[in-house]
Amino acid sequence: MPIGTTTEYTDSITRIVEDRVYKIVGEKNDIVESIISNVGVGATDPNGGDRGVLPNKGKVTVAFVEFSKRHGLSTSAYLEKIRSAMKGIPGAEITVDKEANGPPTDKPINIEISGDDFTQLSLASKGLKRYLDSLQIPGVEELKSDLQLNTPEVVVDINRERANREGISTGQIGNEIRDAIYGKEVSKFKDPNDEYPIQLRYQEDQRNNIDALMNLKITYRDMAMNGAIRQVPLSSVATVHYANTFGGIRRKNQKRLVTVYSNILTGYNPNEVVAKVKAAAVDFKVPDSVTINLTGEQEQQKETGTFLGYAGLVALMLIVLILVLQFNSISKPIIILTEIFFSIIGVLLGFSIFKMDMSIVMTGIGIVALAGIVVRNGILLIEFTELMRAQGYGVKDAVIEAGRTRMTPVLLTATATILGLVPLAVGMNIDFVTLFTELNPHIWFGGDSVAFWGPLSWTIIFGLGFATFLTLILVPVMYLLSEKLKARIKKQPLAVTESKIPLVE
């Protein structure tokens, strides 16, 4: 609700929201664990930085049971129904969102408008919000701004000339008003366990009454009258008027900041929606002293992708170093490293063919783990080929024999890895307690863990499945071509098919 709304009025609006939620989820719903409403206390956004007690905010939380007890029902359907039902409440800004796992993050759409002049910032933020609303970009729930300009305040204007004539300073006036409203510690009450401050202040009906405060007697010692004690009412040296002010000013890198943010509706790709919003924000004209930046989840996603890119390069360098030390060659490590690129192609093809969403973090970790698996298959082939050549086989015969002999272990290890990751990828769950007590495993598929482990598992499955078959074909061919190229450069004959010493099993 608007700043300054009382707790009682916010509670009445929260009851309306709560009633609409009950109509959607039902009074007795097996998959709903509880519906809890908060007003003032605990009603702020858990992902935001504000943890204070705000009487103008309320929150209704719907807690669902575990996924295994939902009978296959998706909570996303309730999210969309509740989001549609929350429209049409005048004066209220309502956000419907699902619980965010992990550390607090910004909204998917988070536009930061920064500058020094707060007036230009407020005009730019309002103009940008109206401009984006007029475009009606699909997938944007509702743009909101954290700019608060309508915070009511009571301004006490001190007539400095009259106050000086009476011999009263502005500090004395401010202290008297503060003591009357907030109180002044005059003593402490002690018991055997703790001590409690005793605050002296006006009664509640008096400190909330402007007229009573203006009749406040300011007691002071007038030095102009030989230190005589005098009492002057506040109304004789000050007047009162009502105004609105800023609710708060945020800064980032010493620049004043206003944020325009929104959630993304279910069923839309966040990257596509953010890209459209970013393109529209770039076209919006602002003064030179005002800058617009798109941050939020996309910026954090970009930082995570950069970190994983550096981690992948470090892992690749370590793999190259180990391979060079092992084979004492440059060509063989290059052949083995090509498998990593083949596996990445398989990952991209798999996600695009099955139209799955990629996770920057888990897909990146999966690629790093995948690199170690596919490199091992290449090492098996090349190392066995080198062993055959050491026994007197020609290059072609050694390559064929290595491919034939190592095909079975390569296929078996890859198949075992893929089949072992399938339950994790599809979210297969087994209740081992009931399996041993009731002989009923209660097998179900899905769950909250799939969103986390699914992209990692599918990354390894797609990449390993694609790279394994290419390993058995391309690695031997590339090895044969590299040996022919080295022989041609050195202008030495290359034994291709002659086998001087039979293979000893």
Q: Is residue 276 part of a domain?
A: no
Token reading at 21:
């939620």
Q: Are residues 344 and 207 in the same domain?
A: no
Which pLDDT tens digit goes with each residue over 112-140? Answer: 888 888 788 888 888 888 888 888 888 88
Reported confidence tier of residue 4, pLDDT bands at 50, 70, 90: confident
Q: Which of 104, 132, 167 is the last residue of a domain?
A: 104
Note the pLDDT of residue 50: 64
Which pLDDT tens digit goes with each residue over 152-191? Answer: 788 888 888 888 888 888 888 888 888 888 888 889 998 8
Q: Is residue 253 part of a domain?
A: no
Res 348 pLDDT > 60? yes
Cα dist. 280→94, 131, 271 in Å? 25, 9, 14
Q: Is residue 285 part of a domain?
A: no
DSSP string, 433-484: HHHHHTS----EE--TTHHHHHHHHHHHHHHHHHHHHHHHHHHHHHHHHHHH
Reported confidence tier of residue 501, pLDDT bands at 50, 70, 90: very low
Q: How far apart are CA 51 and CA 44, in angstroms?
A: 6
Reported confidence tier of residue 448, pLDDT bands at 50, 70, 90: low
Q: Which of 220, 245, 270 is the last residue of a domain?
A: 245
Q: Are residues 217 and 322 in the same domain?
A: no
Q: State mean pLDDT over 99-119.
A: 77
Q: Is residue 322 part of a domain?
A: yes
- Residue 95, Cβ density class (10 Å: 0-12 exposed, 13-18 middle, ≥19 buried): middle
Nearest 10 degrees: Cα torsion 11, 12, 13, 16:
120
Mean pLDDT computed over every residue of the chain: 83
Reported confidence tier of residue 15, pLDDT bands at 50, 70, 90: very high
Range scoring the smallest mean pLDDT among 143-147, 225-229, 232-236: 225-229
Please state the domain count of the chain. Answer: 3
What percentage of the chain carries pLDDT values higher than 90? 5
Reported confidence tier of residue 14, pLDDT bands at 50, 70, 90: very high
What percentage of the chain carries pLDDT values higher than 70? 93
Note the pLDDT of residue 47: 65
Q: Is residue 2 part of a domain?
A: yes
Of 420, 326, 435, give the one whose Cα is nearest residue 375. Answer: 326
Q: How far apart are CA 191 and CA 107, in angstroms?
A: 49
Note the pLDDT of residue 431: 77
324: CATH:
1.20.1640.10
Token reading at 34:
């509880």
209: CATH:
3.30.2090.10
Note the pLDDT of residue 12: 92
The residues, ordered by sequence, that sit 6+ positions from 498 with a Cβ below 8 Å of its Cβ are 394, 397
Q: Are residues 83 and 232 in the same domain?
A: no
Q: Are residues 463 and 390 in the same domain?
A: yes
The residues, ordered by sequence, that sit 6+ positions from 350 with a Cβ below 8 Å of its Cβ are 356, 458, 461, 462, 463, 465, 466
Q: What angle do CA 158, 163, 164 make, to 5 degrees?
A: 130
Reported confidence tier of residue 327, pLDDT bands at 50, 70, 90: confident
Q: Is residue 236 part of a domain?
A: yes
Note the pLDDT of residue 505: 47
22: CATH:
3.30.70.1430
Q: Higher pLDDT residue, 282 or 498?
A: 282
Which pLDDT tens digit goes with each residue over 356-368? Answer: 877 777 888 888 8
Q: State mean pLDDT over 96-105.
A: 70
Domain containing 173: what range?
A: 151-245
Q: Is residue 366 part of a domain?
A: yes
- Interaxial angle between packed helices 360-390 and 331-353, expressed in degrees from 0 to 180 and rounded to the nearest 10: 140
DSSP string, 202-243: --HHHHT-HHHHHT-EEEEEEGGGTTEEEEEEGGGTEEEEEE
Q: How far apart are CA 293 and CA 299, in angstroms?
A: 10
Report the 10 Å Cβ neighbour count for 166: 16
Which pLDDT tens digit goes with each residue over 367-424? Answer: 888 888 888 888 888 888 888 888 888 888 888 888 888 888 888 888 898 998 888 8
Note the pLDDT of residue 493: 66
pTM of the model: 0.59
